[in-house]
Amino acid sequence: MIEKLKQVIEEIKVLSINNADELEVFRIKYLSRKGIISDLFELFKSIPNDQKKETGKVMNELKQTAEIKYNELKVVFGDQQKEEKTATDISLPGEPIYLGSRHPIYIFQNKVLDVFRKLGFTIAEGPEIEDDWHNFSGLNFPDNHPARDMQDTFFINKDYSLRTHCTSVQVRIMENQSPPIRVVMPGRVYRNEAISARSHCFFHQIDGVYIDKNVSFADLKQTLYFFVKELFGEDYGIRFRPSYFPFTEPSAEMDIACIICKGTGCNVCKHTGWLEILGCGMIDPNVLQVNGINPDEYSGFAFGMGVERTTMMLYGIKDIRVLSQNDIRFLSQFSSQ
């Protein structure tokens, strides 16, 4: 038996193993439960007791020889295997980086803001959760005045609501700045309205305000003419209609020639040739007064426009809901903008 064991030891010593696969074959052949060494241990049990001591020594030598060889080579080939797995194949084509796209609402909003920037307006934002003062009372909506019914409001509690218009930011500007004031205020507003293809319970507005000495309705008109000219081109049809807002006096609504039919009449403009795009007016002296600006010294104009309707018209979008559904198939169409 000793001879046999020594023979196996020699065999193991000279065996050449060149990679992880060969090492695994080695392990199975010698060291596994059904391997050669295990078989020899079985055989060892049956040899006469007086031979056990000497044979046992050689048995152990065999086992150690196999284990040392295995462990040493495992370090070599194990690492090699790991390296192979983590190595970067620099010949692979790169992963494409997809560029995000700007939302059509913000494409249009940026265009509008750019026009007013040219006229020296700065940009301000305010909170979407607003108190009664900034959304209503500071804008000349008396308590229980029917004008409050003009806006279907989401109340959070008795004192706070989601703002129903960006005109609330105007109040914040007036209380924090002194004239001359020239600011545009973009943002999201909320109204308790049934959601359909044409209306939503949240949408975007851009308000603007200009307060200085001797500001007149002529300044308002000229500013809005410039705005329409920059956005839609020279000689674009425009008209003002008298209107009512609690915070402006006089108040007006401005229409532009229908973007679709250019004023000749179509379904979109209900065959009037006109589209209403904003409300405006001279800031009511009461509003200046309660917000700390002397109406005898200063006057101002203000305007507020909805963003969704004009954006929809510009891009031929038929349903307002797609603007807030985050459908990548819709949004990616604007990726070049």
**Chain positions contacting ligand DAH, by CB under 6 A:** 165, 167, 207, 245, 248, 279-281, 302-304
Smallest distance, ligand DAH to C-beta of residue 106, A: 20
Q: Closest CB to ligand DAH among 73 and 166?
A: 166
Cβ closest to ligand DAH, residue 124 vs residue 302: 302
The helix/strand/coil state of 287 is helix
Chain position whose Cβ is nearest to ligand DAH: 304
Output 211 or 280, the one with its CB closest to ligand DAH: 280
The nearest distance, CB 188 to ligand DAH, in angstroms, is: 12
Kindly tell me which of 26 and 303 has the beta carbon lying closer to ligand DAH.
303
Contact by Cβ (8 Å): 273, 258:
yes
Of 161 and 167, the one with the shorter C-beta distance to ligand DAH is: 167
Q: How far is the CB of 311 from ligand DAH (least distance, A)?
A: 17
CB of 191 within 8 A of CB of 114?
Answer: no
- Distance between CA atoms of 211 and 299, rounded to whole angstroms? 6
CB of 88 to ligand DAH, least distance (A): 57
DSSP H/E element including 229:
helix 217-232
Instruction: Please answer whether residues 182 and 123 qualify as being in contact, where contact means their C-beta atoms are separated by less than 8 angstroms.
Output: no
Task: Round to whole Å and give the CA distance between 31 and 240.
Answer: 96
Q: Buried b vs exposed e over 227-241: b needs ≥16 C-beta within 10 Å?
A: bbebbbeeebebebe
From the CA atom positions of the chain, what is the Rg in Å?
Answer: 41
- Rounded to the nearest whole angstrom, what is the least distance from the CB of residue 296 to ligand DAH in the complex? 21
In angstroms, how far is CA 251 from the centroid of its own chain?
37
List 239's β-bridge partners, or say none: 255
At closest approach, how far in Å is the CB of 279 from ligand DAH? 3
Closest to ligand DAH by CB, 30 vs 141, is 141
With residue 49 as reference, give the H or E element that holds it.
Answer: helix 49-86
Please state the closest distance from residue 245 (CB atom) to ligand DAH, in A.
Answer: 4
Question: Which is closer to ligand DAH, CB of 63 or CB of 191?
Answer: 191
Strand partners, 123: 184
